[in-house]
Structure 1
Amino acid sequence: MKAIVSNTDRLQGEIHALSSKNYTTRYLLVSALADGVSTIHYPAHSEDSDAMRRCLIDLGAELHEDAEKMTIRGFGRHPKAIKELNVGNAGAVLRFLMGTAALLPEVTFVNTYPDSLGKRPHQDLIDALEQMGVSVEHQNGRLPIIIRGSKAHGGLIEVSGQVSSQFLSSLLFLTPLLPEDSEIRVLHDLKSKVVIGQTLEVLEEAGIIIHASEDLMHYHVPGGQQYQAKSYTVQGDYPGSAAILAAAAVTNSDVRVTHLMEKSKQGERACVDVLQAMGVDLTHQDGIVHVRGGKGLVAGEFDGDEFTDAVLAMVAAAVFAKGTSRFYNVENLRYKECDRITDYLNELRKAGAHVEERQSEIIVHGRPEGVEGGVEINAHYDHRVIMALTVVGLRSAQGLTIKDAHHVAKSYPQYFDHLKALGAKIELIEE
């Protein structure tokens, strides 16, 4: 599908934020790892969360869902022995379940997206699992991956946090179920610490005890624990909402996004602070973010590791800010569905933006007057790139045509519908 995004003068209206994909996938997993029936209220529906649903059913969980909630009868520490798991293009789901797979005799994670997830590295998690007595066959750290578990044990485990925090999360989900206590040491730097905070929050809700150091670099995990069947409520999703808020910020707008907790532990909540720092007229109270856009943005410097999945949307806003913006500490963007620095910036240049890259930085020389556009651009099968490029298209004199725009469904299937409801001029063409 192609999305033809035309210059749009004004956005107006109210959008109810989607439920959080990150929390949904975590609640699904802890519910499956529990014995008994758990309930998840307002779970997200996206390709990622649906991939987790599908894989957990394959592993023996029983799921029932209506319009507002889902019930899950878990398999505890005894998932069903199966030969293959297909996570689609969901990297977090793959990495979380690689840990769970250590409870199985043998399972193969297949490679159905060789040009996207198939290129992403998982060696750091593989190294950690092998320290635990798990046998792993892989293709230079990439899919397809065969895991032979059953003999997994606790003890001292070292894992690098330099590429992704998802490797550490995977171990934190697994180790409480092992007979022995575990000590997890994080090597090098730990990316996206705020996301580890979400994992620890969900584990605590599920009745799991984990002793984490203040800097989140060392963990003591008592063994022999059991996940408890609980009731969970999924909060609104900041990463997807960040793109809606960025679109409102760069246009004449009066837009409200509801269902966004002020004190959420989602790191991407910082997008509200970033936009305010850029001079956007924005308020956030009673779970509602209210943006009155069109007054002009100013450049700033931001630590992107605090809001990883909102960086691209904030860069899109910075394209139209006065001055030069710098987003630093963002190297982990290179290891997502695509290289979200090089690939994304190449497309921004095609649209007429003035941007530069460093190994771990994005530099944006703002053009408050807008960009020319009038080109077809490649979103590299990446939902975050699609959303961010759409924001740029709204302020492009000749608009933008985005290829493979259907991949936005990975996290936000209703994205284009929501923007169009606010008045965005977007035409979707099936190919």
Structure 2
Amino acid sequence: MDVIVRPTPELKGEIGALSSKNYTTRYLLVAALAEGESTIYYPAHSEDSDAMRRCIQDLGATLVEDDEKAVITGFGRSPKNVKELNVGNAGAVLRFLMGITVLSKEVTFVNTYPDSLGKRPHDDLIDALGQLGVEVDHNNGRLPITIRGGQPKGGNISVSGSVSSQYLSALLFVTPLLAEDSEITVTGDLKSKVVIGQTLEVLEQAGIVIHATDDYMHFRVPGGQSYQAKTYTVQGDYPGSAAVLAAAAVTQSDVTIRNLSEDSKQGERAIIDVLKMMQTPLTHENGDVRVQGNGKLQALEFDGDTATDAVLAMVAAAVFAEGTSRFYNVENLRYKECDRITDYLNELRKAGANVEEKQAEIIVHGRPEGVEGGVEINAHYDHRVIMALTVVGLRSEKPLLIKDAHHVAKSYPQYFDHLKALGADVEWVK
């Protein structure tokens, strides 16, 4: 389905932040890797987290869920032998489970999104899994991917961090279960280090011991460990909230989002600091973020590596800022559901934004007077692109039609409902 976003001068109201997708997928996984019953309070519901739910059940976990919690009985270090797993379009779920399925005899990850996840490379993780003694069949590093495991061995492992931190996370989830101790060395630059902090935080909560250097470039993992069945509570999601906060910043607004912890380890928490630097009137107290926007923003420069999933929303706000903004160290945006630099900027230009790209930078020449809009936009099946383009549509002179906007459900199924509740003029069309 498509969505029409019409110019909306004012947003007002309160919403609760979604539960974090990143934490939910990690908690579901560690619960599945435990023997016994774990409880997760307020888990996120999105296509990504539902993909993890589906796959851990395929691998032998049981899951019972109500409106408040999910109760999981795990399979421990013995996932059930299944022929195929379908992760949908969830890259992180694919990569985490590529690590876990080395414990299985043979599993094929199928390719159901050839124009999105099917295009994304996984060579660096494939190379690392080979160092565990695992055979991997693949299509030039892409799906479909078959893993023939069963007897993986720990030891000295090197993995590149230059494309994605998810490869490292995959190894950190599985190596504690191997009989041998492991030493993991990251080669090249490690992207999205802050997300590795989230993985380590969840592993520690699950009773796993990992010794990491301060720069996250070297890890010592004792073997023979077991995940413990625990109770977890999922915190509010900053990546999804970033787009709503940006929408409030570019309009006349009085918007409050609840359940966004001030001391969260989510890198996308930086959206708060960025909007303050852009001189958006904003307070953050007791888990509530209140934006009293006046539509007036100042340009800034920002290192986006620590806040990958909020950068597109930040760029959308910068489209209307006074001056030229620069978002640098963001090359890993090119390796997401789409090329979130080239593809996204092409659509922004259609709407009337003045933007430039370099290999690892996005440069935005702000237009405080607004952009023309009145065009059809291709969001490239990417939930983050959909959300960010919606922000631009709210300040366009003419409506934007965003194609295939239903893909927002990958991380934030209620996104347009929440915007409507705040007064945004958005409409689904077939």
Verify same fold: TM over 0.5.
yes
Q: What residue identity is the alignment partner of 1:173?
A: F
d(CA) in 2 for partners of 1:269, 1:376: 31
The one-letter amino acid paired with 1:96 is F
Matched pairs, number: 430
Partners of 1:283 and 1:121 in 2: CA distance? 40
Note the 1:290-305 alignment, pairs <5 A: 290-305=290-305
* Separation (CA, whole Å) in 2 of partners of 1:351 and 1:271: 23
In the alignment, what sits opposite 2:335?
A: 335
Corresponding residue for 2:86?
A: 86
Match of 1:349 in 2: 349
Question: What SS does the aligned partner of 1:190 have?
Answer: coil
Q: What is the match of residue 268 of structure 1?
A: 268
Quote the residue 2:427 is aligned against.
427
Residues in 2 aligned to 1:2 and 1:382: alpha-carbon distance in whole angstroms: 13
- Give the secondary structure class of the aligned counterpart of 1:381: coil
Q: What is the CA-CA distance between 1:399 and the residue it aligns to?
A: 1.7
Instruction: Give matches, 1:141-220, under 5 Å.
Output: 141-220=141-220
- Taking the TM superposition and a 5 Å limit, the aligned residue runs for 1:234-313 are 234-313=234-313
Which residue identity does 1:147 align to in structure 2?
I
Deviation for aligned residue 1:211? 0.1
SS of residue matched to 1:397: strand
Q: Which residue of 1 aligns with 2:34?
A: 34
Q: Which residue of 2 aligns with 1:68?
A: 68
Letter in 2 for 1:161: G
Aligned partner of 2:233 in structure 1 is: 233
Q: Unaligned regions of 5+ residues in structure 1, if any?
A: none
Instruction: Give the TM-score taking structure 2 as reference length.
Output: 1.00
What is the letter of the counterpart of residue 412 of structure 1? Answer: Y
Aligned-residue RMSD, C-alpha = 0.4
Aligned residue number for residue 367 of structure 1: 367
Alignment partners' CA distance in 2, 1:67 and 1:316: 34
Tell which deviates more after alignment, 325-334 or 288-297.
288-297
**Structure 2: runs of 5+ lacking an equivalent:** none
Tell me the CA shift for residue 84 of structure 1: 0.2
CA distance in 2, matches of 1:152, 1:246: 46
Which residue of 2 is the match for residue 376 of structure 1? 376
Instruction: Give the Å deviation of 1:204.
Output: 0.1
* Shift in Å, 1:295: 4.7
Q: Distance in 2 between matches of 1:272 and 1:225?
A: 38
Please identify runs of 4+ aligned residues in structure 1 that moved more than 2 A: none
- In structure 2, C-alpha distance between the alignment counterparts of 1:325 and 1:306, rounded to whole Å: 17
Q: CA deviation at 1:304?
A: 0.3
Structure-2 separation of matches of 1:265 and 1:106: 36
What are the Cα deviations for residues 113-141 of structure 1, in whole angstroms up to 9, with x where unaligned? 00000000000000000011000000000
Specify the code of the residue in structure 2 equivalent to 1:140: N
- Per-residue deviation, residues 316-363 of structure 1 (Å, max 9, x unmatched): 000000000000000000000000000000000000000000000000
Look up the equivalent residue of 1:213 and give its one-letter code: T
- 1:191 aligns to what SS in structure 2? coil
**Alignment partners' CA distance in 2, 1:307 and 1:59:** 32
The residue aligned with 1:387 is 387
Shift in Å, 1:76: 0.1
Task: After TM superposition, list the pairs within 5 Å mapping 1:6-25 onto structure 2.
Answer: 6-25=6-25
Q: Aligned partners of 1:133, 1:249: CA distance in 2, in Å?
A: 51
- Letter of the aligned partner of 1:152 in structure 2? P
Residue identity opposite 2:99 in structure 1: G
2:342 and 2:313 map into 1 onto residues whose CA distance is 15
Where 1:195 maps in the other structure, the secondary structure is: helix
Q: What residue number does 1:104 align with?
A: 104
Matched residues in 1 for 2:91 and 2:327: separation?
Answer: 24
**Secondary structure of 2:232's partner?**
strand
Letter in 1 for 2:387: M
2:174 corresponds to which letter in structure 1?
L
- Partner SS, residue 306 of structure 1: helix
Query: Separation in 2 of the partners of 1:405 and 1:88?
Result: 17
Name the residue aligned to 1:55. Answer: 55
SS of structure 1 residue aligned to 2:199? helix
Shift in Å at residue 306 of structure 1?
1.3
Q: Distance in 2 between matches of 1:157 and 1:268?
A: 29
Of 287-296 and 229-238, the range deviating more from structure 2: 287-296
